[in-house]
């Protein structure tokens, strides 16, 4: 055996082991072969909506590697889902679109006005076959004059 052959053989073995070492490194984002949902770096799962009702166009921002669907649950102020909820029992909040496929997703929230003085809470769960993400939604209550569910008194008597 010549020295050139031994050096070539050692180089080939060295490259083989370094290739195996690099291929075993973890990934920051889920594999595209496993359907799942995840919030991109810097994304938020906390959403606040004004009491007057509104459309929050970029409310839910997440990535999906496969099919997904949204469920909305009524919650308390600690974002614990209220007992007996089936996943779309919240009549004041809507997610559009409420299901979809792979890609970068930006879903809107539509909220009706909150005429009460107390804030109301919901948890929007984005489900995939593998995992889920929970977004915590707070719609503020009205405070000060004009709040509440009853109309203001009519001083003119009409």
Q: What is the pLDDT of residue 12?
A: 54
- Whether residue 131 lies inside any domain: the answer is yes
- Whether residue 63 lies inside any domain: the answer is yes
Q: What is the pLDDT of residue 87?
A: 75
How confident is the model over 121-137, as a mean pLDDT?
96
Question: Please, is 12 exposed, middle or buried when counting C-beta atoms within 10 Å of its C-beta (0-12, 13-18, 19+)?
Answer: exposed
Rounded to 10 degrees, what is the CA torsion of 94, 95, 99, 101? 170
Query: Using CA atoms, how far apart are residues 55 and 111, in angstroms rounded to an integer?
Result: 7
Check pLDDT > 50 for residue 146.
no
Pairing of strands 54-64, 132-139: unpaired
Provide, rounded to the nearest whole percent, the portion of the chain with pLDDT above 70.
68
Domain count, the chain: 1
Summarised one tens digit per residue, pLDDT across range 25-78 is 444 554 445 669 999 998 999 999 999 877 888 889 999 999 999 999 999 999
- Whether residue 27 lies inside any domain: the answer is no
Could you list the residue range(s) of the whole structural domain that residue 89 is in? Answer: 37-139
- Whether residue 105 lies inside any domain: the answer is yes
Query: Using CA atoms, how far apart are residues 138 and 79, in angstroms rounded to an integer?
Result: 9
Residue-averaged pLDDT of the chain: 79
- Whether residue 130 lies inside any domain: the answer is yes
Check pLDDT > 90 for residue 122.
yes
How confident is the model over 77-85, as a mean pLDDT?
90
Q: What is the pLDDT of residue 153?
A: 38
- Whether residue 66 lies inside any domain: the answer is yes
Q: Which CATH number do you get for residue 50?
A: 2.60.40.10
Q: What is the pLDDT of residue 54?
A: 79
């Amino acid at each position: 055996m010549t020295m050139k052959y031994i050096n070539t053989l050692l180089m080939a073995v060295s490259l083989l082991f370094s290739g195996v070492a690099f291929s075993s490194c973890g990934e920051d984002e889920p594999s595209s072969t496993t359907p799942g949902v995840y919030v991109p770096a810097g994304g938020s799962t906390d959403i606040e909506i004004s009491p007057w009702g509104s459309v929050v166009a970029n409310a839910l921002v997440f990535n999906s590697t496969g099919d997904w669907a949204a469920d909305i649950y009524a919650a308390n102020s600690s974002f614990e889902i209220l007992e007996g909820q089936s996943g779309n029992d919240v009549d004041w909040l809507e997610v559009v679109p409420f299901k979809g496929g792979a890609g970068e997703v930006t879903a809107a929230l539509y909220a009706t006005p909150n005429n009460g003085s107390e804030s109301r809470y919901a948890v929007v769960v984005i489900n995939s076959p593998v995992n889920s993400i929970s977004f915590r939604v707070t719609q503020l209550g009205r405070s000060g004059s004009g709040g509440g569910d009853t109309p203001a008194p009519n001083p003119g008597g009409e």
